[in-house]
Amino acid sequence: MATKVNPAVMRKGVQVIWVAIRSEPLMFTVAVLASALYGTMTVASSWALGWATENVVFPAFAEGDVATATVAVGVLLIVGTALLKAVGIGGRRAFAGFVQYRMQARSRREVTRQYLRLPLAWHHRHPTGQLLSNASSDVEATWAPLAPLPMALGVIVMLVTAAVAIVLTDPLLALVGFLVFPAIFLLNVVYQRRLSPLATRAQQLRAEVSEIAHESFDGALVVKTLGREDAEAARFAAKADELRDANIAVGRVRGLFDPLLDALPTLGVLAVLLVGTLRLEAGGITAGELVQVAYLFTLLAWPIRALGWVLGELPRSVVGWSRIRHVLDATGSMTYGTARLTGTGPARLEVRDLTYGYDPDTPVLDGVTFEAPPGRTVAIVGPTGSGKSTLAQLLVRLIDPQRGEVRIDGVDLRDVERGGVSAVAALVPQQTFLFDDTVRGNVTLGLPGITDERVWAALRLAQADGFVSALPQGLDTRVGERGSGLSGGQRQRLALARAIARAPRLLVLDDATSSVDAQVERRILEGLREAGGEATVVVIAYRMATIALADEVVYLEHGRVVDRGTHEELLDRCPGYRDLVTAYEREEAERAALRAQEGAPDDAAELGEPEEVVGR
């Protein structure tokens, strides 16, 4: 096995440590000084022990009597050095911990803020489990060396002082004892070479295990519905077994390294005692000097072990740092300008030659062009896979087009300052996400200036005020993780109220009422129109009754605009549109007839009535 130090790992490890030192210079310095105090007092305690042996212990055996003052001096020396050692230990641990935990907190904040800054397209390319691992285990691994580092640096003082003291006491014993250092250095080199690839593999597997767990939890409904619990458990178990084996491999290397590191200084002490006994018999040293030298070599195991801890954590630290930097250095493809959307009232939306594809060679949208005049309602209709949801994301600039442009009030969204689009446009997506918070918290999301009156107004417009009023604590009722205490229709209406409460000038509804019955959906859209035209509305819809409320319909097929016009105009002249919307209505009619035959209640009984109570 090669024993050459990997210079890249050492260099990167030093760079990572230097980042922490620059970030927390004061606390790091205090930790090192406290460790230096501990190291100095440790060496001083060996001198105190040797002095007590020469002046108290041996005279007591030889003469049977020792002066009280001499005993007092010996006690003060030993107790004083012990107290100062305790101060050094406490200071080192406290301030080293402060540095480590502060760096972990800072890195987690930087990573999570970067997640929020990066465009949605970047998130599409990175699994959620990997992102969770970056913000948790990778951060911990990166700053793990900071705990033993101040001790390792501070006890260098102890190492140097002890070495000088040993040489001054007896050069021959020093030569015998120092032979152990090359062996310890070689052991550290071999350890680093073996641990680095194993640590890298273990870090990657942690991310993969987290990714599988997140997918299973996120898709719990699908997993249970399809009876795939055993398959998901087996998939997770297989990856967890790989992580277990990787951690065991890391543990084996550490398990071999630590005992050897402990054994080598002990062997050095035994060699010193053997040679020292011969030197004592020959009169070359005194018994006190032998005790002092042996004790000093015993103490040398601590600085050597501290250095070993730092070297042992460096490979994992470098791996964690590289994974964090992958996030922090990511730029995505989204840039911002300086333009501001300062208009008031409903926005004017213009879409010109819009083209986008998740695969550049296979566009989802191709040359889409239409307009939405201020205060008007435009329905986007098309079969599955025609690019409607992608278009909705483009309209609020969650992603950028590959060609063409989206304009609000004549301004290209790519020229708008950061945060400018979200200040005037709101999207209610297909998949509703609610936080484990109160109804009020989910509607306001902590945005200042949204009063309870404004919340209730948004709930009334979203047809959600009825069931919210019936909740046990009203606006203060917690809705559970992802809104688990609500029905699908209730979750969608709360998400809609969340968007309305911000008084957007452009409101994009991506099939946002699919879990709400047709009557409630109609009331919602009519309410939006009757609210005084405060927003331009773009709605992706399937139901004919909903589409008929729109001022204009844009019909998509295969990512292209096939036709535009009113609902009646498209029914007359566009066969594809007519087949699509009437097929849905025919299916609904057949389902209604079947429910009537079976005596089942209408959908409104389950989802639509305002007075429904939740909390199941």
Tell whether the model's pLDDT for residue 604 goes beyond 70: no
Task: Answer yes or no: is 343 within a domain.
Answer: no
Tell whether the model's pLDDT for residue 363 goes beyond 80: yes
Residue 607: its pLDDT value, please? 40
Task: Answer yes or no: is 616 within a domain.
Answer: no
Q: Say which DSSP state 602 is in.
A: P
Closest by CA position to 615, among listed 459, 471, 493: 471
Q: Mean of the pLDDT values across residues 343-366?
A: 86
Burial 78-90 (b: 16+ CB within 10 A, else e): beebeebbeebbe
Q: Domain total for the chain? A: 2
Same domain, 33 and 75: yes
Same domain, 197 and 268: yes
H or E element: which one contains 405? Answer: strand 403-408
Given a contact cutoff of 8 angstroms between Cβ atoms, the answer to whether 202 and 243 are in contact is yes
Residue 109: its pLDDT value, please? 92
Task: Answer yes or no: is 500 within a domain.
Answer: no
Parallel, antiparallel or unpaired: strands 349-356 and 365-372: antiparallel
Same domain, 373 and 301: no
Same domain, 204 and 76: yes
Same domain, 324 and 208: yes
Task: Answer yes or no: is 279 within a domain.
Answer: yes
Given a contact cutoff of 8 angstroms between Cβ atoms, the answer to whether 319 and 199 are in contact is yes
Q: Mean of the pLDDT values across residues 19-32?
A: 88
Same domain, 283 and 416: no
Q: Which residues contact 442 (CB under 8 A, 6 or more apart)?
A: 434, 435, 479, 483, 494, 498
Same domain, 404 and 291: no
The two three-digit tokens of residue 360, written as one number: 């550049």
Domain boundary pick from 328, 360, 390: 328
Task: Answer yes or no: is 2 within a domain.
Answer: no
Least confident of 33-42, 80-89, 101-110, 221-230: 221-230
Same domain, 100 and 189: yes
Confidence of residue 302 (pLDDT cuts 50, 70, 90): low
Tell whether the model's pLDDT for residue 297 goes beyond 60: yes
The two three-digit tokens of residue 212, written as one number: 């599988």
Residue 554: its pLDDT value, please? 92
Same domain, 219 and 115: yes
Task: Answer yes or no: is 516 within a domain.
Answer: yes
Task: Answer yes or no: is 479 within a domain.
Answer: no
Radius of gyration of the chain (CA): 36
Q: Mean of the pLDDT values across residues 287-295?
A: 72
Residue 603: its pLDDT value, please? 47
Parallel, antiparallel or unpaired: strands 377-381 and 552-557: parallel
Q: Is the dihedral of CA 239, 242, 247, 248 positive or negative?
A: positive
| Cα–Cα distance measured from residue 147 to residue 101, given in angstroms and rounded to the nearest whole number | 9
More confident residue, 66 or 574: 574
Phi, psi (5° rounding) for residue 216? -65, -45
**In this predicted model, what pLDDT tens digit does every residue of 316-347 receive, in sequence order?**
788 788 888 888 888 776 788 888 888 788 88
If you average pLDDT over every residue of the chain, what do you get? 79
More confident residue, 602 or 3: 602
Same domain, 366 and 294: no
Tell whether the model's pLDDT for residue 374 goes beyond 80: yes
Least confident of 40-44, 85-89, 218-222: 218-222
Residue 352: its pLDDT value, please? 93
Closest by CA position to 199, among listed 240, 260, 243: 243
Same domain, 579 and 512: yes
| Cα–Cα distance measured from residue 427 to residue 487, given in angstroms and rounded to the nearest whole number | 21
| Cα–Cα distance measured from residue 241 to residue 494, given in angstroms and rounded to the nearest whole number | 42
Three-state DSSP state, 540: strand
Q: Please, which residues bridge with residue 507 across strands?
A: 426, 537
Domain of residue 520 covers 349-431+506-608
**In this predicted model, what pLDDT tens digit does every residue of 440-460 receive, in sequence order?**
888 888 787 788 888 888 888
Same domain, 535 and 411: yes
Residue 531: its pLDDT value, please? 60
* pTM for the predicted model, two decimal places: 0.64
| Cα–Cα distance measured from residue 502 to residue 511, given in angstroms and rounded to the nearest whole number | 20
CATH code where residue 544 lies: 3.40.50.300
Q: Mean of the pLDDT values across residues 548-555?
A: 87
Tell whether the model's pLDDT for residue 601 goes beyond 60: no
Q: How many CB atoms lie within 10 A of CB 429?
A: 19
The H helix count followed by the E strand count for the chain is: 25, 10
CATH code where residue 169 lies: 1.20.1560.10
Task: Answer yes or no: is 466 within a domain.
Answer: no
